[in-house]
Amino acid sequence: MRAWQLTAFGLDNLTCGELPSPGPGPGEVLVRFSAASVNPRDSQIIAGHFTPGVDFPLVPLSDGAGTVAAVGEGVNRMAVGDLVAPTFFPGWLEGEAFADERKLSSGLEVPGVLREYGVYAEDALVKAPAGLSAAELACFPCAGLTAWTALVEKSGIGPGSWVLVQGTGGVATAALQFATALGANSIVLSSSDERLARARELGATETINYRETPAWGERAHALAGHGVDAVVEIGGAGTLPQSLAAIRHGGHVNVIGYMAGAALDLTVFPLIIRNANIHGIGTGHRAAFEAMLAFVGKTGVRPLIARRYAFTEAPTALRDLDAGGFQGKLVIDYEG
């Protein structure tokens, strides 16, 4: 089978070659991958910026989808022909991760999806709802589930709620789409008027160009009337003070990224004044993944795919991810 492997840090060390085709053992499922999507974490792992603890050679990328090609003895959750996706954390099935549930993750401690076939324990896979394509399903394991965990699992967003979404990348766009489908109001931040216009097409109630409005936290608070119920915090340390200014009393700030800095230098007073709930979001568990996909099947939410690449163009997709300037997700089609 074809597979991309990282032999050392650096995108130039990502090479495509042949590996033996695997087969499933008892309780295991063989998946023939059809699509993958790329995330900033994937790029950081490849560059050596995420962790020095990489066991080379590594098959990268956490998010993919494909069809069940074969099942081992005793498998009853999956059947041949099912469209499935591996979970981000194969050992985290539900609830809080109090032990080693998050010890192994796709595309790092265990092989990722940038290969034609993969063998998984049946508990580490989820089935797609009817009508979802492999390319669409491949957008959900990290970005989609991160947004869902932030809005639903942690913040309890529902009809009439207000959500502030920072940016227009994969997690942010998924959060906007989920907020809209949940009946919530949303405020989207960007420095691009073009991407803000697209956000309105996707359901944004209000938009703010943060270059034109540096005090966007206060502006968002005013737009929501009482402050927003939840923030999808992509910037990290550099934007957290504005996020705290945006939330209502008892509101939720869901910290997902650190594009504007990772080291916090923040007094506790804004936290106390707002009675703030700050959540660090690291994707989510399988039960939440299944609940999210059930919601997707019911509501017809579909991820926004910005660009698509052939399997042989995987490095180009990763370079374009680093370059930015797109809205939504970058997807690799394995049959292209």
Domain regions of the chain by residue span: 2-139+303-333, 144-280
pLDDT at 68 over 60: yes
Q: What share of the chain is helix, strand, coil (3-state, %, to 5)?
A: 30, 25, 45
Whole-number pLDDT of residue 246: 97
Please tell me the distance from the alpha carbon of residue 91 to that of residue 64, in angstroms, as a whole number.
17
Host H or E run for residue 190: strand 185-190
Helix (H) or strand (E) run with residue 171 in it: helix 170-181
Q: Please write the tens of the pLDDT for every residue from 103-128.
A: 999 999 999 999 999 999 999 999 99
pLDDT at 266 over 90: no
pLDDT in tens, 140-169: 999 999 999 999 999 999 999 999 999 999
User: Which tokens in the block code for residue 192?
Assistant: 């691009």
SS3 292: helix
Residue 269 confidence class, pLDDT cut points 50, 70, 90 = low
Residue 87 burial by Cβ neighbours in a 10 Å radius (0-12, 13-18, 19+): buried
Q: Is the pLDDT of residue 262 over 60?
A: no
pLDDT band at 268 (very low <50, low <70, confident <90, very high): confident
d(CA 185, CA 164): 9
Out of 3.40.1190.20, 3.40.50.720, 3.30.1330.60, 3.40.50.2000, the CATH code matching 144-280 is 3.40.50.720
pLDDT at 274: 83
What DSSP designation does 317 have? Answer: H
Domain 2-139+303-333 sits in CATH at 3.90.180.10
162-166, strands of its sheet edge to edge: 206-209, 185-190, 162-166, 228-233, 247-255, 277-280
Mean residue pLDDT across the chain: 94
Asked whether the predicted pLDDT for residue 261 surpasses 50, the reply is: no
Does residue 216 sit in helix, strand or coil? helix
What is the model's pLDDT at position 237? 73
